[in-house]
Chain A
Amino acid sequence: MDRECCWYRDVIEQADCPNISEGEEELLILKHQRLTEKCCDCPVFIESLARLHDSANPLATILSEVLSENCRQKNQIQSLVSFLDSKTLEIRFLHELGSILQSSVDLDEVLSVALTAITAGKGFGMNRAFLLLCDREEGVLKGYIGIGPRNMEEASQVWDEIIQNDMDLQTLAQNFRLNKLSSERAKFQDVLEQLTIPLTDKNHIVIKALDGKRPIMVEGAYQRTDVPSELSRLLGVETFLLLPLVSRNRCIGIIIADNCITHRSITEEDMRSLETFGFPVAFAIERASLYDKLHVELNRVTEAGRKLKEQQELIVRMENMALVGRITSSIAHSVRNPLMVIGGFARSMLKNSPVSDPKRSFIESIVAETRQLEGVLDEILNYSDSLYPTRDFWDVNQLIEGALRDTADIMKSLGYATGYTPGHAMLPVYIDFKQLSYCLRTVLQNDINGTGSDRSIAISSQSGENCVILRIEDHSRHTSQIELDHLLIPFSESRDLGTGLGLALCKTMLEKQGIPFVAQAGLIEGILYTITLPTCKEEQP
């Protein structure tokens, strides 16, 4: 061996060894380590070894073999280290991915993370991916979302952007979710619509992958008989990967991934990595879907609870109403019958008593008081009726014509002329017919004294937005707006009870049905009443 070579020296200088680079200065003094790591590859050492061979030294052959084996093992270790490094990176990536997926129950967020991970350079670096989800109710596997560029130009733009921004996976996914989720869906809408495969189509390559619960690498798609030509044409690539998403042994969907832009081959290694990645993604998608369903069910239960509460309140109200009904019914029988007998006999006596009878005024008082009490009784009974309206759809013309017919005789006897102008194409109105009919009769016959010379009441109807508007123009009765407003408040009328509750009762009844009732004095000659009747249930409070 050449003694000029540095290999036998304990300590060397930096200039002595061409293989020791900056940062490896410690090897200058560590002879053993330097020998195993650097000298074997050193050309000076190899030259020295050759000279040893030339000198026919028997150790030269043994030494060569030992060195050769050492090199082989070194390379092997290097390769393993490199493999371990790549696996470490993959595990780190999967860990990051798992952390993000575990913390999310939002389906869109999960999908954004999953699809970003497949296509991002920091992830699996695939060019494009489609997610198809199983719809068990419809019995199909349906395209849900796609991600990736559609052409080289778009690809360059997107990848440049990613390189410039240097974002981590979570930021990339968030960015995708906020800015691109909808646009990517729209961009691949045509493809997604065609990616609907019946789950019963067991010969379809996608369903095979799904049922087999194992990924399938499809190569030479155009030539393969088990790949439908429409799928190959739709994807436009020869090679793609089918990655079923399996959660709790249930297939929830599949990912189709390819390199449609770069045409980089998909390795067995890629496939295995993606398979590992598929499990947390599938679990997260299922969990997010279940969470969505849970949310819907929770809303439904909350809504049901609210309705139940309303129903309970309604039942309590109805019980109260029933009690009111029983009380008023009892009043009707207990009070009206004796009242009728008293009033009836008083009238009978009055009829038969001579004008000169000094007791005649007493009898007249009895007749008047009983009449007034009957009026009060009527209004109380009507008020109790108004507490619980029963609404349905009714024809407006039928309502108005009925009210006019019912009041025709009395209006005629009082010298009033009434008329009705119906509107065109009016929808049925959602009202309590009986109460509305009562209100119209009351408005027509109300006891505001008629003073005008024009003793006419004109009713007209017209269609509005989700309503029919009734206008009742009473040209004969005159009052101020203040007095009119006063008449619309129950029991605030200063006059004796039984003579002024009618309009207030109308307003109360209508308000309980959510129907606006407006009475205006001074707008026209007389009083203008406007009643807005709803044409749909939604308008009800």
Chain B
Amino acid sequence: MSRLLVVDDEANIRLLYAEELKDEGYEVVTAASSAEASEKLQGCTFDLAILDIKLKNESGIELLQRLVKERHDMPVILCSAFSCYKDDFSAWLADGYVVKSGDLTELKQEIARVLAKKALKARG
């Protein structure tokens, strides 16, 4: 079972992601801020992180940059209400980009794609 870290400052969104992704068979851990995400990452491994861009204190992009350095083997999907970040170079560090929607199909497809790619890479 793949372990996913969901970072979003909106409690309802974290709940929605957790419910929907658990239904899809993932183990989901949520965090409300980048600080909480860092705590949860301590000593734990995650197969994938889903980050909101607009977070309190540290932005999702900054957290992404940190994760790329510290957890380069953990893929990251950015999930934002803003489509404009798709054209931001700094967002290109992420493995996937999804615009927030009540229909989580695109997000689920993106998670599956990124995890499959990671698995393929692990197999060499």
Contacts and interface: CB of A to CB of B under 8 A. Distances in A.
A and B together in one complex: yes
Interface of A: 329, 332-333, 336-348, 351, 367, 370-371, 374, 378, 381, 385, 434
A336 B10 contact: no
B87 interface: yes
Given A374-B101, A374-B102, A332 B82 contact: yes
B54 interface: yes
Contacts of A339: 102
Given A332-B81, A381-B83, A347 B104 contact: yes
A211 to B, nearest CB: 63
A344 B102 contact: yes
Given A337-B13, A345-B16, A348-B20, A371 B82 contact: no
Contact of B13 (A340, A347, A367, A385): A340
Contacts of B84: 385
Interface centre among B13, B20, B81 (most CB of A within 10 A): B81
Interface of B: 10, 12-13, 16, 19-20, 23, 54, 81-84, 87, 99-104
B63 to A, nearest CB: 18
A343 B10 contact: no
B102 A370 contact: yes
A340 B101 contact: yes
Interface of A, secondary structure class, is helix
A342 B102 CA distance: 7
B82 A340 contact: no
Contacts of B19: 348
B89 to A, nearest CB: 13
A539 B66 CA distance: 45
Contact of B100 (A336, A347, A367, A434): A336
B15 to A, nearest CB: 8
Contacts of B13: 337, 340-341, 344
Contacts of A347: 102-104
A370 B12 CA distance: 16
11 contacts: A332-B82, A338-B12, A340-B81, A340-B102, A341-B10, A341-B12, A341-B13, A341-B16, A367-B102, A374-B102, A381-B83
Contacts of A329: 82
Nearest to B20: A348
B101 A343 contact: yes
Contact of A333 (B16, B54, B87, B104): B54
Given A348-B19, A381-B83, A337 B102 contact: no
A28 B99 CA distance: 124
A344 B102 CA distance: 4
B102 A346 contact: yes
A120 to B, nearest CB: 73
Contacts of B12: 337-338, 341, 345
Contacts of B87: 434
A346 B12 CA distance: 13
A449 B13 CA distance: 34
Contacts of A340: 13, 16, 81, 100-102
A381 B86 CA distance: 14
B54 A344 contact: no
A333 B20 contact: no
Given A337-B81, A374-B101, 12 more contacts: A329-B82, A333-B54, A333-B81, A336-B81, A336-B100, A337-B13, A342-B102, A343-B102, A344-B102, A345-B12, A374-B103, A381-B83
A135 B100 CA distance: 68
Q: Across chains A and B, which 3 residue pairs bring their CB atoms closest together, nearest first?
A: A343-B102, A336-B81, A341-B12
Interface centre among A340, A342, A374 (most CB of B within 10 A): A340
A345 B13 CA distance: 10
B10 A337 contact: yes
A347 B84 CA distance: 26
A445 to B, nearest CB: 15
Contacts of B101: 340, 343, 374
Contacts of A374: 101-103
A344 B83 contact: no
Nearest to A382: B83
Nearest to B100: A340
A367 B104 CA distance: 12
